């Protein structure tokens, strides 16, 4: 059996503004993974590919899936790149511990695990750049007009300072730090949140361009705070970024409640991570990590809390 896994991700700073070419910072979350296993499926017609996702109750041949199904498309684009047209039938099984629709990149992680597993199955290697390009095409199916940050940070599996179409570079983190990722339990509709921001931007471009500029400046300052290991400053920048996300209209009451709870319980900073309208909030915890914070968040209605270490 052939396998490949890909991590989850969180955006630290700059979501939404990144769609409008402002910088964003994102990091992989290696404690959560999407894994894909492939094995031959003897007895089926040559060229048949089964996709089996037990958590979704799905087992279907990709020929029976819609042309724009992201799972099928991940597979088709990979086979196209590998120039594989005829092959004995095989089955792809997908298992993931990354919560879906919560801003943790589960879609991109599954796509990237499929691309790499299919390449391995055919004893081939696909360069990271090509993995990233295919994953970006599939992200468009999921989200319409993605910035590309999810597929980039997950493909390269390292902290990324990202400006759409301009740069994708690692950034330095002076000292590892802990984040609590608290799930509101409300599914975060990325495409809807991105569309909502776009409609508001179309109605008042001046205002929204200024908001995006402010978020971009905060992201740049956060990069410096991470490089200097200045956690107090990082926390304040998270709070400022959150206020701007609220001004963009993507912070739901459930996000606001968890953020307030975290700050009241002594967190250094807290904000939405990802598209918002639910999904996850990230909380910068003091060192050593205070276990009361997680209890307070769960009592305030968090569906789950994961502690993750962000390291260079
Ligand atoms: O919620 P997620 O992980 O899909 O992140 C979306 C991030 C946005 O900036 C809102 C959109 C994008 O494509 O960058």
The domains found in the chain, sorted by start residue, are 2-170 (3.30.230.10), 177-310 (3.30.70.890)
- Please report the atom of ligand 1 found closest to the CA of residue 10: 3
Please write the tens of the pLDDT for every residue from 184-235: 999 988 889 999 999 999 999 999 999 999 999 999 999 999 999 999 999 9
pLDDT in tens, 245-291: 999 999 999 999 999 999 999 999 999 999 999 999 999 998 777 88
Q: How many angstroms separate the Cα of 121 from the Cα of each of 38, 47, 90, 131?
A: 7, 14, 10, 15
274 lines ligand 1 (CB under 6 A): yes
Of the candidates 44, 68, 150, 213, the residue annotated as catalytic is: 150
Planar angle of CA 235, 239, 241, nearest 5 degrees: 110
Separation of 296 CA from ligand 1 center, angstroms? Answer: 27
Starting at the earlier edge strand, list the strands of the sheet with 177-183: 269-273, 280-284, 177-183, 304-310
283 Cα: distance to centroid of ligand 1 (angstroms): 18
Gap between the Cα atoms of 303 and 287, Å rounded: 24
Q: Is the pTM of this model over 0.95?
A: no
Sign of CA dihedral 84, 85, 91, 96: positive
CB 8 within 8 A of CB 40: no
């Amino acid at each position: 059996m052939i396998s490949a896994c890909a991590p989850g991700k969180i955006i630290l700073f700059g979501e939404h503004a990144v769609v409008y070419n402002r910088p964003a910072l994102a990091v992989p979350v290696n404690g959560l993974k999407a894994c894909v296993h492939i094995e031959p499926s003897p007895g089926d017609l040559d060229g048949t590919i089964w996709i089996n996702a037990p958590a979704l109750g799905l087992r279907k041949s990709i020929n029976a899936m819609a042309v724009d199904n992201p799972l099928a498309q991940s597979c088709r684009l990979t086979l196209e790149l590998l120039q594989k047209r005829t092959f004995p039938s095989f089955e792809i099984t997908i298992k993931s511990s990354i919560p879906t629709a919560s801003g943790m990149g589960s879609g991109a992680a599954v796509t990237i695990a499929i691309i790499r597993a299919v390449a391995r199955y055919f004893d081939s290697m696909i360069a990271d750049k090509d993995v990233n390009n295919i994953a970006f095409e599939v992200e468009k199916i999921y989200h319409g007009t993605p910035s590309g940050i999810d597929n980039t940070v997950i493909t390269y599996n390292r902290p990324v300072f990202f400006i759409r179409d301009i740069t994708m570079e690692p950034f330095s983190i002076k000292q590892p730090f802990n984040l609590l990722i608290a799930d509101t339990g409300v599914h975060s509709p990325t495409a809807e949140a991105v569309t909502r921001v776009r409609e508001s931007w179309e109605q008042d471009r001046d205002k929204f361009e200024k908001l995006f500029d402010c978020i971009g400046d905060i992201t740049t300052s956060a990069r410096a705070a991470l490089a200097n290991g200045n956690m107090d400053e990082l926390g304040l920048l998270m709070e400022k970024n959150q206020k701007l996300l609220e001004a963009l209209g993507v912070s739901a009451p459930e996000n606001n409640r968890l953020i307030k709870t975290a700050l009241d319980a002594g967190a250094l900073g807290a904000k939405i991570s990802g598209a918002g309208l639910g999904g996850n909030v990230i909380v910068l915890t003091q060192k050593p990590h205070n276990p009361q914070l997680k209890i307070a968040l769960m009592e305030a209605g968090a569906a789950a809390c994961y502690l993750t270490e962000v390291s260079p």
